[in-house]
Amino acid sequence: MQTALADFIRDTPEGREADAILRKCVHCGFCTATCPTYLLLGDENDGPRGRIYLMKQALEGQEITDRTRLHLDRCLTCRACETTCPSGVQYGRLLDAWERIKRRALAAVLPRRSLFALLLALGRLARPFLPARIAETIPAAATKAGAWPAPRHARKMLVLAGCVQPALSPGINAAAARVLDRIGISLVEAKGAGCCGALRFHIGYQEEGLSDMRALIDRWWPLVERGGVEAIVMTASGCGAVVKEYAHLLRNDLAYAGKAEKISAMTRDACEVIEAEFGRIEPILARKAGVRLAFHPPCTLQHGQNIKGVTERLLAMAGFELTPVPDAHLCCGSAGTYSLLQPELSDKLKRNKLSALGSGGPELIATANIGCQVHLAAGAGLPVRHWITAFEERLN
């Protein structure tokens, strides 16, 4: 079979492996007769030859539709086709390479802020033409960030901009900056600081993830060492959980172990910072009553960082009426890139979570991680926001 793999995959180990396997297939169709899903469904695309062709098309850069995914997902990975094939096509290895390619594509795009923002903008433009299931997952245009106060206080804290959050919800860090500014702390972002490394580290690209961590430390270090910042604030609990682990993850790296230890020790979730400064915030809280709010504590906050009940307490003190949420300890199905790699299971977890969050009749859902926020917003039927943006509205 002739192949012409797309640029993003051609020169990678997975791309080369998939290419070699695809080229062995002579399209004879012997395998089809032994494929259980083809025998049941009688559709060429539900047999190995059809699936091989679908993977080839996708690797050559054609759009992966819901139907392509459905046919590929129906494969039992029983490999009966492999033992039937007279040309030695290693179908099992092709599937493995396919899975790794999906991860590589995510690893290439998500941590790069400008590329992610560009793809997101294209996705928003194309939304009317996409199948409903895919269109639903593309977040609507983000509301404007609002003003970021100029640094004017002696007390300073650093905040992580992150890789996907600025494009998806630029208002989160700006809201945190305004809240802290009101109590005498200037929040600053380090120029050129990128991804915390979690994305690539957790999808099997550990070395690349560690490189992202070192690059972020390099950007932060001058501000930590000489810039007088007293803490590093995280508005995405997923990033916070990982940055707090830098000390462990980089412990064997002689050049970075010491810096990583200091960075981890200085890192606080936004709710920890606000709680510690509550004495200064309390006098400027308006405490308007009346909005019923359901809070979803992300796994990376309650399990990863072991922070339980803090955000809920702050929101209640700001006058929100917190509605009861059964099984609040369970994951919403976002889990980093899980929602992209396991869409069916993730969707089921989301439906369960939305039903639990909605059971107390809230007007608003709040959470503490951009991944959970975007994941839950698609299908929630009511606003889903970062808690700091709701909290800010309670300041006089």
- Interface residues with ligand SF4 (CB under 6 A)? 25-31, 35-37, 48-49, 51-52, 75-81, 84-85, 87, 89, 91
- Of 46 and 245, nearer to ligand SF4 (C-beta) is 46
Please tell me the number of Cα atoms within 13 Å of 293 on its side-chain side. 28
Coil, helix or strand at residue 339:
helix
- Of 31 and 332, nearer to ligand SF4 (C-beta) is 31
CB atoms within 10 A of CB 322: 17
Residue with tokens 């809280």: 285
Q: What is the closest distance, in whole angstroms, from the C-beta atom of residue 60 to ligand SF4 in the complex?
A: 17
Q: What is the closest distance, in whole angstroms, from the C-beta atom of residue 27 to ligand SF4 in the complex?
A: 5
- Of 22 and 158, nearer to ligand SF4 (C-beta) is 22
- Of 51 and 113, nearer to ligand SF4 (C-beta) is 51
Q: What is the closest distance, in whole angstroms, from the C-beta atom of residue 39 to ligand SF4 in the complex?
A: 9
Q: How far apart are CA 378 and CA 372, in angstroms?
A: 10
Query: Among residues 105, 277, 121, which one has the least CA distance to residue 200?
Result: 105
Q: What is the closest distance, in whole angstroms, from the C-beta atom of residue 255 to ligand SF4 in the complex?
A: 46
Q: How far apart are CA 373 and CA 190, in angstroms?
A: 24
- Of 69 and 127, nearer to ligand SF4 (C-beta) is 69
Q: How far apart are CA 279 and CA 183, in angstroms?
A: 10
- Of 93 and 155, nearer to ligand SF4 (C-beta) is 93
- Of 84 and 137, nearer to ligand SF4 (C-beta) is 84
Q: H or E element: which one contains 292?
A: strand 292-296
Q: How far apart are CA 173 and CA 178, in angstroms?
A: 9
- Of 91 and 320, nearer to ligand SF4 (C-beta) is 91
Structure tokens at 65: 């539709």
Which residues, in sequence order, are CB contacts of 13 under 8 Å at separation 6+? none
Q: What is the closest distance, in whole angstroms, from the C-beta atom of residue 64 to ligand SF4 in the complex?
A: 18
Q: What is the closest distance, in whole angstroms, from the C-beta atom of residue 100 to ligand SF4 in the complex?
A: 17
Asked whether 305 and 299 are in contact (CB, 8 A), the reply is no
Q: What is the closest distance, in whole angstroms, from the C-beta atom of residue 130 to ligand SF4 in the complex?
A: 27
Q: What is the closest distance, in whole angstroms, from the C-beta atom of residue 182 to ligand SF4 in the complex?
A: 59
Q: Please, what sign has the CA dihedral across residues 368, 372, 374, 377?
A: negative
Residue type, 144: K
CA distances from 328 to 171, 331, 338, 380 (A): 26, 8, 19, 16
b/e for 286-319, b at 16 or more Cβ within 10 A? Answer: eeeeebebbbbbbbbbbebbebeebbbebbebbe
Q: What is the closest distance, in whole angstroms, from the C-beta atom of residue 57 to ligand SF4 in the complex?
A: 15
Q: How far apart are CA 107 and CA 6, in angstroms?
A: 16
- Of 91 and 148, nearer to ligand SF4 (C-beta) is 91
Q: What is the closest distance, in whole angstroms, from the C-beta atom of residue 76 to ligand SF4 in the complex?
A: 4
Coil, helix or strand at residue 153:
coil
- Of 6 and 26, nearer to ligand SF4 (C-beta) is 26
